[in-house]
Amino acid sequence: VLSGCGVYDGTEIHEASAVLVHLSRGGAEVQMYAPDVPQMHVIDHSKGQPAEAESRNVLVESARIARGKIASLAKLTTADHDAVIFPGGFGAAKNLSTFAVDGKDCKVNREVERVLKDFHKAGKPIGLCCISPVLAAKVLSGAEVTVGHEEEEGGKWPYAGTAGAIKELGAKHCVKDVTISFPAHVDTKNKVVTTPAFMCETALHHIFDGIGAMVKNVLKLTGK
């Protein structure tokens, strides 16, 4: 499930690509979806500032990553899939929810909420990385997730404050690294698998490997 195209206002492209590579390597058949809604705003990624006069659609922008092969999130059903994965990027906190603005008081896009609840009820695994675990924390009461460490540690974990918000949402935060063994957290009860990814300032290949651990555990939980 994508949330646009670009880290500051949509899906983190490297994370989406890593998810797709690891799913392909795992032999999974993939279908991509995104909500057909306007973005919260558009960021000029060369400046890191809002482009005031622009507006974009989440589904249309996500189609860039999907190479055009994408459908509206409204069409996603548990009956057609064994698992669902949400890459990160600020689109998860801006377009799939209002977390970027409202924090613990955020609202989740109704289709995103439906998908999370439906997969959870069906006992089918849910994978999330980077900032997207906040979606599960909000929707699935008591879920265990990770966004990495809970202290900034000299800038290595610049978004460490997110862990506190996750706790306020009623979820359990589990400290995980990106660069060591077992960089993904598996909540076996709720079948929720999370990894920090770009919540950490580290080399790209470490993030790629962490996402691989998340994907591998999601596929394992499908039992196929």
130 is catalytic: yes
User: Measured between alpha carbons, how far is 118 from 91 in angstroms, rounded to an integer?
Assistant: 22
Q: Do residues 62 and 5 touch, judged by C-beta distance below 8 A?
A: yes
Q: Considering 129, 130, 174, 200, which one is annotated as catalytic? A: 130
Amino acid at 114: R
CA distances from 111 to 34, 68, 97, 138, 184 (A): 9, 21, 10, 14, 26
- Residue 173 tokens read as 């935060």
Non-local CB neighbours of 158 within 8 Å, separated by 6+ positions: 152, 199, 201
User: Measured between alpha carbons, how far is 69 from 121 in angstroms, rounded to an integer?
Assistant: 27
Q: Which residues are catalytic, by number?
A: 130
